[in-house]
A and B are shown apart, each in its own frame.
Chain A
Amino acid sequence: MTALAPRDLLILAVLADGPSHGYGIIKAVEDRSEHDVLLDPANLYRCLRRMNADGWIDEVDARSDDDRRRTYRITAEGRAILRNEVQRLEILLRGLRPSLAGHKR
């Protein structure tokens, strides 16, 4: 498994907490990344289409009652990919920390 782009990782992480619609995802991603990753609708929906086609996420069948926004949720496959990526990053960080500590002043 290759590395995920930060944007993809964050979107999967947001959806892992519960289904959301487009604007909800934009907001949550901004919050979680402490305004480091900023999304615009065009890029967001392009990502969503790709993840949907790859089977990482799917649409919630019934659209929420008040408006007709499409809501996305994470699939089992998406969850596995998220888990793998987080594990990979943890291992990576574990390997990096000592070297960082060693050069501490």
Chain B
Amino acid sequence: MTLRLYRALIRLLPRRVRERDGEEMARALADQIAGARAPAAVRWRALTRFPLVLALEWRDVLFAPRVSSPTVFSQGSRMESIARMIRQGARGLARTPVFSLSVILLLGVGVGSVSAIFAVVDHVLLRPLPYPNVDRLVVIDGSHSMPAVRDMQAMRSIDAWAAAATENARLTRDGEPLRVRQALITGGFFPMFRARAAVGRLLQPADSQFANVAVLSYSMWVRVFGGDTSAIGSTIRIDDAPTTVVGVLDPTFALPETIVGASVDLWRPVDPAAEYMTKRDYWMFGAIGRLGADRTIAQAQQEATRVANERAKVFPGRYTEDGKVLELPVRSLRDATTGRVQRPLRLLLGAVGLLLLVACTNVTHLFLARGVGRLREMAVRRALGARTRLLVAQLLIESGMLGLAGAVLGAAIAYAGVRAFLALAPAGLPRATTIGVDARVLLFAGSVGMLTAIVFGLIPALRLARLGPGDPLRGAGRTLTGTRGAHRFRSMLVIGEVALSLVLVAQAGWLLRSFIRMSHADLGFRTSGIVEIPMSIPAPTHATRDSGQAGAPTAEWYRRVEAIRESLARTPGVQGVTFGLTMPLEWVGGGKCCWFARPNFTGKTPPARPSVTHPIGDDYFDLFAIRFVAGGAWTGGTATRAPYPAVINEELANRVFGAANAALGATFVLDETDFRVTGVARNTRHYGADQSYETAVYIPANAMPFPPGNVTMALRTERTDNALGADLRAAVWRVEPNLPVPAINTIAQLARRDSAHRRFDAMLFGIFSVVALVLVAGGLAGTLLYMVSLERRSLGIRLALGATPRGLERGVLTKGVGLAAIGAVIGAMGAWWAGRLIESRLYGVEARDARTLGLAVSVLLLIALLSSWIPARRAAATNPIESLRTE
């Protein structure tokens, strides 16, 4: 047994040792054991001493000093020569610190920016959502009423359903009231996403009988109960209704953001007694389904289309828009979650990819320039018998070492970059909470760094390897690096660099223009000196509404809102206060709240599409400086009984009456209430500068057929001091001590939020462009300087033959600008093509706007001119005698 093990160990020895002594060692041990008085001790010693000897033998083989080797690369084992090449490479790189650091820095910048964006793309787009059967989860796009969700359940290809709606609510326990985000969910919701409770339990089927239970989010539990488990079973008040807390949701649960948004504080079962369960007017639920095994989205879409057509027939006018059936688009959950950002993120990845390429071009320049020095060294080594293969391997190892260092720097830059990205990114990036630099990103950075270094280091290495045996020695380096081929290659690199940068610069220019346009867009209302305060005015929830006229709940609600309005109006510095269900720019980025209805004009066919309906306070138009095309607003106190006065916007007037004046005095019925048009207002960009005009109806808030849960106050003031917020809150609390006031936004802040993603786009592309321009300037200047230094001899001869320094200077400038011009032409074509990709990101700027492109070209040519200046001066300063002597 021992012997067999020993023989196995012997097999591990280096071959030469094994062949020489292996057999003898085994026999000696056998004899030793046979002749020993204590065989166990002999065995023990033999086995325990072996590993050290094994290690020593291998060390000797791998790291033996070989002073007597006749050639630079001996025939030693592969490991040995690699170890030596690494040592040699490190020494060589340390001897040229400027070169090495430049390469590492360039690679670091390139790899770092690519990796940072990759980290975002990876977390947002590439990783699967953490739900069971996630490939089978689909979303029926849009908001639906609960009866509509029930219609969809006719779809055979979907075997499980869940629906959820979110809304604001007011949570009270002992202390001050909180405005919270609550989700109303059906029984299938938590099981579909396999959610778990951190404490207590989640919702059960029995809960749907009584809506008075709630599951808290983890953070809400910590905030309200300090993380106390006695919270389970205790009672809180939600919109004044007592509700029992039954559990706390696992904090690691990833919210299905496309259904419930990025944050939910409170989960409650849908209330079976509520009106929204049976009425088709409450389009508030997101619907999600699970495809049956081996069913496809295409099959589900077919069935969804059938459902859509059928319901349009059963409920005429309700499910059509502009005469077309309202479709029910089926999308995978993944698509629905990230589809919106897929394009912009890919675009960013493409942009940093260009930046990386520009950085790599400069790396190649550096490798080429260094190659001249290495050339003679390599030639000498080859003359002494080193094989080309090994010389190339040596160069590759050096590139790899630089690549590794660049990747390490890149990882650090990526780490900082991701943090900066998240800090600057506009809100609404899905799955943003999990983004970070992790093992996958590090692996990516490492691979990109190594790969680029090796590939771009290989280009000069291969050029070296192609040389004939005696070439470099004969020409002392000059003939080779000065050949036409090398010149052309270097010129091509410069051209490529300029072209790539131009693509980036042009895109940045387009995005910047579009951002500027958006910041100065005419929205149709005042965008300064206004403060908006959203709040949840308590109203009897889900109250059945009186038919035909404004009922007691609305009157009660209106009284309370008016009291708040008056209190705010008495605050020092406030010049006017109004209110409404939503205020301009409160909803931006494509989200549109809150009430869409179809006004039915007397004697006209009902409009094809629903209109945004704005219940507003009296001074709304004055306060926002919205102008009238015809007629005017109602005056305070006139809106007391039907027919109530109303204002419609130009868009609606034109669609229904063809002209604004024709709409004056017209009557219409909206949600079973009568109105008369007193004025036609100009169109406004209520939902943001980049949203299309909606048809809109403005009605007095007290004419609402039911009291809404939310209201937003808007007030006009020139005050910007820090005490304003406190003053306004105090004013609200004077009349409504229990009302949460979560946010006080100036309209300028809201406008900034509206253009946030354009600013972000423009800024990122701007940063990438500036870096690319710096790289181009460095690359061009470096290359020209290098060419000038190689051509000193010919420059000297030309000077001696009568050329003027000015002429030489002009020659270099022409060369630099000429290369840049060729690059600019190619780049302009590239930018033209790439313009298509950012078309959808632009606002108010034609895609491929030629003026911007021209400006980008001019910037690049100017930079080319500037960076050719120093090499040109150097050429002009050539001393003919000296330059002839040096050769």
The residues of A with any CB-CB pair to B shorter than 8 Å are 21-23, 26-27, 38, 40-46, 48-49, 69-70
Q: Could you give, for residues 496-512 of chain B, a 1 whenever the CB lies within 8 Å of some chain A CB and a 0 otherwise?
A: 00000000000000000
B21 contacts across to A, CB distance below 8 A: 45, 48-49
Nearest residue in B to A70 (C-beta to C-beta)? Answer: B24
Q: Point out the residue from B29, B35, B45, B57 that lies within 8 Å of A46, measured CB to CB.
A: B57
B35 contacts across to A, CB distance below 8 A: 23, 27
Contact A42/B49 with A27-B35, A49-B17 known, Cβ cut-off 8 Å: yes
Nearest residue in A to B57 (C-beta to C-beta)? Answer: A46
B32 contacts across to A, CB distance below 8 A: 23, 26-27, 41
Instruction: Tell me whether B27 is interfacial, beta carbon within 8 Å.
Output: yes
Not counting A22-B28, A40-B50, A41-B32, a sample of 18 additional A-B residue pairs whose C-beta atoms are within 8 angstroms of each other reads A23-B32, A23-B35, A26-B28, A26-B32, A27-B32, A38-B45, A40-B29, A40-B45, A40-B49, A41-B25, A41-B28, A42-B25, A42-B46, A42-B53, A45-B21, A46-B56, A46-B57, A49-B17
Assembly CA distance A41 to B31 (angstroms): 11
Nearest residue in B to A27 (C-beta to C-beta)? Answer: B35
A49 contacts across to B, CB distance below 8 A: 17, 20-21
Measured between C-beta atoms, what is the minimum distance from A6 to chain B in Å?
16
In the complex, are the beta carbons of B31 and A23 less than 8 A apart?
Answer: yes
Assembly CA distance A80 to B291 (angstroms): 92
Q: How many Cβ-Cβ contacts under 8 Å join chain A to chain B?
A: 51
Assembly CA distance A26 to B24 (angstroms): 13
Sample of 12 A–B contacts (CB below 8 Å) = A23-B32, A23-B35, A38-B45, A41-B25, A41-B28, A42-B50, A42-B54, A45-B21, A45-B25, A46-B56, A48-B21, A49-B17
Q: Could you give, for residues 16-46 of chain B, a 1 whenever the CB lies within 8 Å of some chain A CB and a 0 otherwise?
A: 0100110011111101100100000010011
Assembly CA distance A40 to B46 (angstroms): 5
B31 contacts across to A, CB distance below 8 A: 23
Measured between C-beta atoms, what is the minimum distance from A35 to chain B in Å?
10
Measured between C-beta atoms, what is the minimum distance from A26 to chain B in Å?
6
Nearest residue in B to A38 (C-beta to C-beta)? Answer: B45
Assembly CA distance A46 to B16 (angstroms): 12
Measured between C-beta atoms, what is the minimum distance from A23 to chain B in Å?
4
A48 contacts across to B, CB distance below 8 A: 21
Measured between C-beta atoms, what is the minimum distance from B70 to chain A in Å?
20
B27 contacts across to A, CB distance below 8 A: 22-23, 69
A43 contacts across to B, CB distance below 8 A: 49, 53
B24 contacts across to A, CB distance below 8 A: 21-22, 41, 45, 69-70
Measured between C-beta atoms, what is the minimum distance from A62 to chain B in Å?
16
Measured between C-beta atoms, what is the minimum distance from B4 to chain A in Å?
15
Measured between C-beta atoms, what is the minimum distance from B469 to chain A in Å?
37
Measured between C-beta atoms, what is the minimum distance from A54 to chain B in Å?
14
B28 contacts across to A, CB distance below 8 A: 22-23, 26, 41, 44-45
In the complex, are the beta carbons of B46 and A41 less than 8 A apart?
Answer: yes
Measured between C-beta atoms, what is the minimum distance from B151 to chain A in Å?
83
Q: Which residues of B in the span 703-760 have a Cβ within 8 Å of any Cβ on A?
A: none
9 closest residue pairs by CB, A with B: A23-B31, A41-B25, A42-B53, A22-B28, A45-B21, A41-B28, A40-B46, A23-B28, A40-B49
From B31, B46, B50, name the one whose CB has the most chain A CB atoms within 10 angstroms. B31
Assembly CA distance A42 to B27 (angstroms): 12
Assembly CA distance A10 to B283 (angstroms): 99
Q: Could you give, for residues 533-548 of chain B, a 1 whenever the CB lies within 8 Å of some chain A CB and a 0 otherwise?
A: 0000000000000000
Assembly CA distance A40 to B54 (angstroms): 13
Assembly CA distance A49 to B17 (angstroms): 9
Interface of B is mostly: helix
Interface of A is mostly: helix
Measured between C-beta atoms, what is the minimum distance from B29 to chain A in Å?
5
Assembly CA distance A22 to B42 (angstroms): 15
Measured between C-beta atoms, what is the minimum distance from A49 to chain B in Å?
7
B29 contacts across to A, CB distance below 8 A: 40-41
Assembly CA distance A23 to B46 (angstroms): 13
Measured between C-beta atoms, what is the minimum distance from A40 to chain B in Å?
4
Measured between C-beta atoms, what is the minimum distance from A5 to chain B in Å?
14
Measured between C-beta atoms, what is the minimum distance from A74 to chain B in Å?
19
A21 contacts across to B, CB distance below 8 A: 24
A40 contacts across to B, CB distance below 8 A: 29, 42, 45-46, 49-50
Measured between C-beta atoms, what is the minimum distance from B490 to chain A in Å?
53
Assembly CA distance A69 to B46 (angstroms): 19
Assembly CA distance A23 to B42 (angstroms): 13
Assembly CA distance A49 to B21 (angstroms): 9
Nearest residue in B to A25 (C-beta to C-beta)? Answer: B28
Assembly CA distance A27 to B34 (angstroms): 12
A27 contacts across to B, CB distance below 8 A: 32, 35
Q: Which residues of B in the span 359-392 have a Cβ within 8 Å of any Cβ on A?
A: none
From B17, B32, B54, B57, name the one whose CB has the most chain A CB atoms within 10 angstroms. B32
From A22, A41, A43, name the one whose CB has the most chain B CB atoms within 10 angstroms. A41
A38 contacts across to B, CB distance below 8 A: 45
Assembly CA distance A15 to B673 (angstroms): 122
Assembly CA distance A41 to B10 (angstroms): 11
Assembly CA distance A72 to B21 (angstroms): 13
Measured between C-beta atoms, what is the minimum distance from A2 to chain B in Å?
19
Assembly CA distance A22 to B25 (angstroms): 8
Measured between C-beta atoms, what is the minimum distance from A22 to chain B in Å?
4
Q: Could you give, for residues 46-62 of chain B, a 1 whenever the CB lies within 8 Å of some chain A CB and a 0 otherwise?
A: 10011001101100000
Nearest residue in A to B9 (C-beta to C-beta)? Answer: A42
Measured between C-beta atoms, what is the minimum distance from B578 to chain A in Å?
95
Nearest residue in A to B50 (C-beta to C-beta)? Answer: A42
B46 contacts across to A, CB distance below 8 A: 40-42
Measured between C-beta atoms, what is the minimum distance from B557 to chain A in Å?
94
A22 contacts across to B, CB distance below 8 A: 24-25, 27-28
Measured between C-beta atoms, what is the minimum distance from A60 to chain B in Å?
14
Measured between C-beta atoms, what is the minimum distance from A51 to chain B in Å?
13
Measured between C-beta atoms, what is the minimum distance from B482 to chain A in Å?
52
Assembly CA distance A22 to B26 (angstroms): 11
A41 contacts across to B, CB distance below 8 A: 24-26, 28-29, 32, 46
From A22, A42, A69, name the one whose CB has the most chain B CB atoms within 10 angstroms. A42
A45 contacts across to B, CB distance below 8 A: 21, 24-25, 28
Assembly CA distance A46 to B54 (angstroms): 10
Assembly CA distance A9 to B54 (angstroms): 23
Assembly CA distance A38 to B38 (angstroms): 12
In the complex, are the beta carbons of A46 and B53 less than 8 A apart?
Answer: yes
Assembly CA distance A48 to B53 (angstroms): 13
Assembly CA distance A27 to B32 (angstroms): 8
Measured between C-beta atoms, what is the minimum distance from B745 to chain A in Å?
81
Assembly CA distance A91 to B50 (angstroms): 36
Assembly CA distance A27 to B28 (angstroms): 10
A23 contacts across to B, CB distance below 8 A: 27-28, 31-32, 35
Measured between C-beta atoms, what is the minimum distance from A7 to chain B in Å?
12
A70 contacts across to B, CB distance below 8 A: 24
Measured between C-beta atoms, what is the minimum distance from B15 to chain A in Å?
14
From A21, A43, A45, name the one whose CB has the most chain B CB atoms within 10 angstroms. A45
Assembly CA distance A99 to B365 (angstroms): 76
Q: Could you give, for residues 830-873 of chain B, a 1 whenever the CB lies within 8 Å of some chain A CB and a 0 otherwise?
A: 00000000000000000000000000000000000000000000
Assembly CA distance A22 to B35 (angstroms): 14
From B26, B29, B54, B57, name the one whose CB has the most chain A CB atoms within 10 angstroms. B29
Nearest residue in B to A46 (C-beta to C-beta)? Answer: B53
B17 contacts across to A, CB distance below 8 A: 49
Assembly CA distance A41 to B21 (angstroms): 10
Measured between C-beta atoms, what is the minimum distance from A105 to chain B in Å?
37
Measured between C-beta atoms, what is the minimum distance from B13 to chain A in Å?
9
From A26, A40, A48, name the one whose CB has the most chain B CB atoms within 10 angstroms. A40
Nearest residue in B to A26 (C-beta to C-beta)? Answer: B32
Measured between C-beta atoms, what is the minimum distance from B37 to chain A in Å?
10
Measured between C-beta atoms, what is the minimum distance from B347 to chain A in Å?
65
B49 contacts across to A, CB distance below 8 A: 40, 42-43
B45 contacts across to A, CB distance below 8 A: 38, 40
Nearest residue in B to A68 (C-beta to C-beta)? Answer: B23
Measured between C-beta atoms, what is the minimum distance from B579 to chain A in Å?
93
